[in-house]
Amino acid sequence: MSSFQGAHDFNIESVVQAQNYIQHVAASSKTPLEQLRDNIAAGALHNSAERCDAPKCHIETRVAIQEEIVSWITHGDTSAQKIMWLTGPAGAGKTAIAGSVAETCKKKGLLAASFFFSAYQGSANRRSKRCLVSTLAYQLTLHDSLGSVGSHIFSRIQRDPAIFERRLEDQMEELILKPLRQFRASMKGSPPVLPKIVIIDGLDECGVDQYQKQGSSRCERKKEDDQVEILSLLAGAVKDPSFPFLILISSRPEPAIRNFFSETITEPVVELFLDDKYNPDADIEFFLRCKFADMRRRYNLPPSWPDKETIQILVTNSSGQFIYAATVVRFMEEPSSPPQAQLDIILKLPIRDAQSNPFGPLDALYTFVVKSSPDPRLSVLWIHTITDRGIAGSLSAFFWRGLLEALPGETDFILGNLSSLLLLPPNDDRQSRFRLYHKSFIDFLDDPHRCGDLYVGTKARREFFIRRYVRILQDQRPAYPVSSQECELFHKEFFQLYVSYSLTLEDRSTDGGLIAANVGCVHGITVGRVAAIGDGVSGRSAGTNIACCHLWLPASWMGGTYGPCRGLVQLPKTSLALFPTYNHLTTFVVVVNKWVVSEDGSEVRVVSYKYQADQPGRSKKSIFNSSRLAGIA
């Protein structure tokens, strides 16, 4: 009888799913173009499907600022100012302007490449520096006018398939600067007409990649470190004579970015700050009049609706922030009440600190919308969870419904009234994600001085997530009825859910009876793989700590593929069978730490197991991470 009979709840460290591992090791079987494509953030391109609903400037608005930017792009090659910084407060329309400029430049053949960062929506690789250089390089390969640049890029990838794991500085040198130098050296006759601009939007939304191991004495990197690294990279690129492009960077004036442009960079920079100079009030008024004209036609309202005084009040309340006007329009277009009723609500909202707080009208609007939910606090917890960069990743709204709903239909009940702030995909949509219309809403919820009693601290957010996460372990399925195919889809995403922290005994106490009754016997498992030296890979590891799996999931979840504990022993055997052609894989080690938690959670008994499988004919080199008491996550 197996020693693991009847056990459940495993924690996996340092394990890579077989198919992912094969893709990594067998990268040489792919063409360089395919390898490059696998390492880009496709959703970050200005015209990606992911950005189909991204804000763009309304026709005939922000004309002056767009003309100034495009003029600099068109004639800037004769100027020493190779970088432009477009900045301004939250909600001023920076991303809309950058997107519209990118579209204009694309039509004119001026756009070389673009990357639109996004912290709270879209793919996870849009909130990190990891894919920035490779995504820019990929776009350069698409330009006919750049001729051999693409072939030079592919040659670099073929020579070093691991280039995507190098520092950004090295990636820039190998994937962009060297190919451009080779292209320039090979040019004969008159130089071709080249694209002129690289656009980087939302730099302040770039998060941080942590590389050092847990427990390291080194200080953790902050997102500002990665942002400054990107700025230094771009500033270095424009100094290279072979780099023919200007760079437009759009971001909020965060301290680290502002200090870089004011103190660190040595090259002259064009700075455009979105303030009254560009007359945002006139653009906001024009935008509102256009939207009100649409409503008049749709609802057969009189030509005088709304009156000039009302429009002026809304323009004043905007304080130059397009996001306020856009939110007002979305709120008025909700089908729950006629537009005039919605407009009356907006005009009567109490505004705190109207004189000292430029966000006062926006905060009042956000507060009213959130409190229109039947359970405002729960709606805030939902929003924090589905936008948490450490948890959310790129998971679908279908998945979040399954994970967070305590009762069927709770999503629409809790979030239905927030449709002016959050896009809710239809219930039968299995792919789309929840999407915030603007990051300023999260800024509002994160500031207790702005959101008041709607503020929810990190401890409460963590506890909410833990309770819902453990409930899925207990019930083994979502709260609402799902077909077998939908259940498989849900569990597939559940496997992808990355929990950035481990549940501790303290966390268990928040759900006392659940752990004692259903998760009393807990196993932890560590899986390690080792590469032999001298087999053509220079001792390079087969890769550890790439992904997490949870083999404690009941067999019924995965159609019997991975059983509770019998699957634990079968996993390394099955995995090794998939790796026979990769002769550098010599050892597959499993270390199991078993502990039994007493009913009151005070006592933990630990027993260790070890499973080792060695590939015949290869030297043994057993290296593995020591297991840790990580609880359920």
Task: Give tens-digit pLDDT for 520-545.
Answer: 223 333 333 322 222 332 322 332 22
Per the structure, how many domains does the chain have?
A: 4
Scanning 388-519, the segments in alpha helix (DSSP H) are: 397-404, 410-415, 440-446, 448-451, 458-475, 484-496, 505-508, 512-518
Instruction: Share the mean pLDDT of the chain.
Output: 75
Q: Is residue 181 part of a domain?
A: yes
Identify which has the larger pLDDT, 293 or 219.
293
Average pLDDT over residues 347-366: 83
Res. 602: pLDDT tops 90? no
Query: How do residues 500-515 score in pLDDT, each as one tens digit?
Result: 334 443 444 444 433 3
- Please give the backbone phi and psi of residue 167, each rounded to the nearest 5 degrees, phi first: -60, 155
Same domain, 106 and 204: yes
Q: What is the pLDDT of residue 15?
A: 33
Sequence-ordered list of residues with C-beta below 8 angstroms from that of 563, at least 6 positions apart, any chain: 555, 570
Q: Cis (ω within 30 of 0) for the bond into 306? A: yes
CB atoms within 10 A of CB 81: 14
Strand partners, 610: 591
Same domain for 92 and 147?
yes
Q: What is the pTM of this model?
A: 0.66
Both 98 and 242 in a single domain? yes
Q: Are residues 376 and 392 in the same domain?
A: yes
Instruction: Tell me, yes or no, whether 366 lies in a domain.
Output: no
Average pLDDT over every residue of 3-24: 36
Give CA torsion, residues 222, 223, 228, 229, to 10 deg.
Answer: 90
**In CATH, what number is assigned to the domain containing residue 236?**
3.40.50.300
- Both 424 and 517 in a single domain? no
Residues 59, 181, single domain; the answer is yes
The one-letter code for the residue type at 427 is N
Residue 391 lies in a domain: yes
Domain match, 488 and 508 both: no
Residue 155, in any domain of the structure: yes
Residue 632 lies in a domain: no
Assess whether 248 and 202 both reside in one domain.
yes
DSSP code of residue 626 = P
- Do residue 70 and residue 202 come from a single domain? yes
pLDDT of residue 124: 82
Instruction: Please check whether residues 301 and 421 belong to one and the same domain.
Output: no
* Residue 361 in domain: no
At 104, which helix (H) or strand (E)?
helix 94-108
Selected residue with higher pLDDT from 521 and 242? 242
Q: How far apart are CA 26 and CA 286, in angstroms?
A: 56
Average pLDDT over residues 136-165: 95
Are residues 172 and 39 located together in one domain of the fold?
Answer: yes
Residues 6+ apart with CB under 8 A from 304: none
- Of all residues in the chain, the percent with pLDDT exceeding 90 is 45
Min mean pLDDT across 149-153, 346-350, 466-470, 605-609 is at 605-609
Model confidence at 431, pLDDT cuts 50, 70, 90, reads confident
Q: Please compute, for residue 140, the number of CA atoms within 13 A of its CA located in the half-sphere on the CB side.
A: 30
User: Is the model's pLDDT at 269 over the cut of 80?
Assistant: yes
In a domain, 3, yes or no: no
Q: pLDDT at residue 218 above 80? A: no
* 561 falls within a domain: yes
Asked whether the predicted pLDDT for residue 379 surpasses 90, the reply is yes
Amino acid 210: pLDDT: 59
Q: Which of 313, 348, 383 is the last residue of a domain?
A: 348
**Would you place residue 618 in the very low, low, confident or very high pLDDT band (cuts 50, 70, 90)?**
very low
Residue 447 has pLDDT above 60, yes or no: yes
Question: How does pLDDT run across 64-87, given as a tens digit for each residue?
Answer: 899 999 999 998 655 678 999 999
- Model confidence pLDDT, tens digit, residues 275-330: 878 889 999 999 999 999 999 999 999 999 999 999 999 999 998 889 999 999 99
Distances in Å between the Cα of 107 and the Cα atoms of 45, 47, 101, 102, 374 are 15, 12, 10, 9, 47
Domain span at residue 341?
Answer: 279-348
DSSP state of 262: I
Distance CA 388, CA 396 (A): 14
Closest by Cα among 576, 554, 620, 599 to 10? 554
571-597, pLDDT tens digit by residue? 333 333 333 333 333 333 333 333 333
Q: What is the pLDDT of residue 471?
A: 77
Given pLDDT bands bounded at 50, 70 and 90, which one contains residue 394?
Answer: low
Pairing of the two strands 521-531 and 585-597: antiparallel
Look up residue 610 and give its DSSP letter: E
Neighbours of 611 (CB within 10 A): 16
Q: Cα–Cα–Cα angle for 90, 93, 97, nearest 5°? A: 140
Residues in the chain: 633
* Cα 621 from chain centre: 37
The CA distance from 600 to 594, in Å, is 18
171-207 pLDDT per residue, tens: 999 999 999 999 999 887 777 889 999 999 999 999 8
CA distance 245 to 400: 42
For 342-375, the DSSP string reads HHHHHHT---TTTTT-TTHHHHHHHHHHHHTSSS
Average pLDDT over residues 432-454: 91
Specify whether 376 is located in the same domain as 291.
Answer: no
